[in-house]
A = this chain, B = another copy of it.
Amino acid sequence: MYRIKQFELNTWIDTHENHETLDMSTTVSSPPLSIDGLVDLSTDPEATRRALSLNSVPLTYGEPNGSDSLQHSIASLYTNSKVTSECIITTSGAVAANHIVFSALIRPGDHIICVYPVYEQLYKISQALGAEVTFWKLDQDNGWSANMHHLHQAIREDTKMIVLCSPNNPTGAYLSSTVQNSVLELAKAHDIILMADEVFRPMFHSLPNGEMEPVSFLESGYEKCIVTSSCSKSYGVPGIRVGWIATLSNDFLSRFTQIRNYTTISVGLIDEIIAAEALSSRCRQPLIQRSLDFAKANLTFLAEFVAKHPQITWTPTRASTSTLIRLHSKDGSPLNDHDFALEFVKANNILFCPASLCFEEYGQGCLQGYVRLGIVMHPETFRHGMEKLAEFLEAGSGLQ
């Protein structure tokens, strides 16, 4: 990865965040949970407290592909009975899961199709490994919806992999069950690997009445499907670095295990214990509900807020822990989001991730004026940040 491009999102955050910064773009629920917080949320606090008694845990390397208990907790997230513990490889967060998948499977000259806009890791590693990436652009003018016709057009004879992120980071869009099924059929017909980063499942906070949640791509039973996920986003405990890769393909599992040997050996034992508990039937639903409740409250507020502040526009989204809002100058033209975010963090120590810097691939040019807005922080914090934003836009100092 000698020539890999800069990771703009992380570099932006690392450069501008300090201990007091309010990060309005965070995709992780806040205030953060602790072990005590997990116990409080649990439907059986005593059992959770016992499970999280860590003082006598022998600090060995642990199991090569993850503890039995954690693999079992993860496998139980999927209803397809073919998805057993053996289909799961635990990793140090979803970032390591994605890295392992691309490192194991991509070689120079491969053709990849990747949804866009998206978390940059999902295509920049492949580019650094010498793959050619075609973007499947979500339809910006139509709520970032996916157009199957465009995906069909992007397929080539030598297309090796389709990379998805649903629910999507940063847009908050998701692929409907119908689109998922169409993508699966297309992948099968062309024998293409389907790689889905599902780290924002099951954060479907605002589905239309009567619409069922789309299931994980893994439920399809498609042998060439790979999904990655973690405890960081929907479950809200990023401080434990536990993610996973799940696939039905023994060939892929064996390749991933090889790469994992070279990058990981094993995931932290204590982190795996906490992760197994977070994903257990005692804690899983309360954790998700906490984020869903925050998201619903914040988006109700946001809808009213943008109605009152014409310099902020927003197309409602239905999933994920973030959404995009667009900022405008008083004459209605989109702001330079990068300049805005720099000025704003300097003035208020409140951080927004400017989309044209953090999610724009060079030359694509559609994200001018957008910033990512996290929606799973405590509603009081969310309101405070939004009010500061409105004040700043109203004052209009130095913005163009």
Contact = CB atoms under 8 A, between A and B. Distances in A.
Contacts of A32: 58-60
B58 A239 contact: yes
B14 A35 contact: no
Nearest to A6: B258
Contacts of A34: 55-59
A362 interface: no
A92 interface: yes
B10 A36 contact: no
Contacts of A258: 4, 6-7, 11
Contact of A238 (B61, B237, B261, B264): B61
A1 B128 CA distance: 11
Contacts of A271: 241, 268, 270-271
Contacts of A33: 58-59
Interface in A355-378: none
B238 A60 contact: yes
Given A32-B58, A58-B239, A270-B240, A265 B93 contact: yes
A2 B109 CA distance: 12
A62 interface: yes
Nearest to A2: B107
Nearest to A107: B2
A41 interface: no
Contacts of A268: 92, 239-241, 268, 270-271
Interface string A79-104: 00000000000001101100100011
A264 B95 contact: yes
A224 to B, nearest CB: 16
Interface residues of A, number: 63
Interface string A122-162: 00110001000000000000000000000000000000000
Contacts of A95: 262-265
Nearest to A19: B63
A34 B59 CA distance: 5
A106 interface: yes
A381 to B, nearest CB: 14
A269 interface: yes
B261 A7 contact: yes
A239 B267 CA distance: 8
Interface of A: 1-4, 6-7, 10-11, 13-14, 28, 31-36, 52, 54-62, 64, 92-93, 95-96, 99, 103-107, 121, 124-125, 129, 232, 237-241, 257-259, 261-271, 274
8 contacts: A7-B258, A7-B261, A7-B262, A36-B56, A59-B239, A92-B96, A239-B269, A241-B266
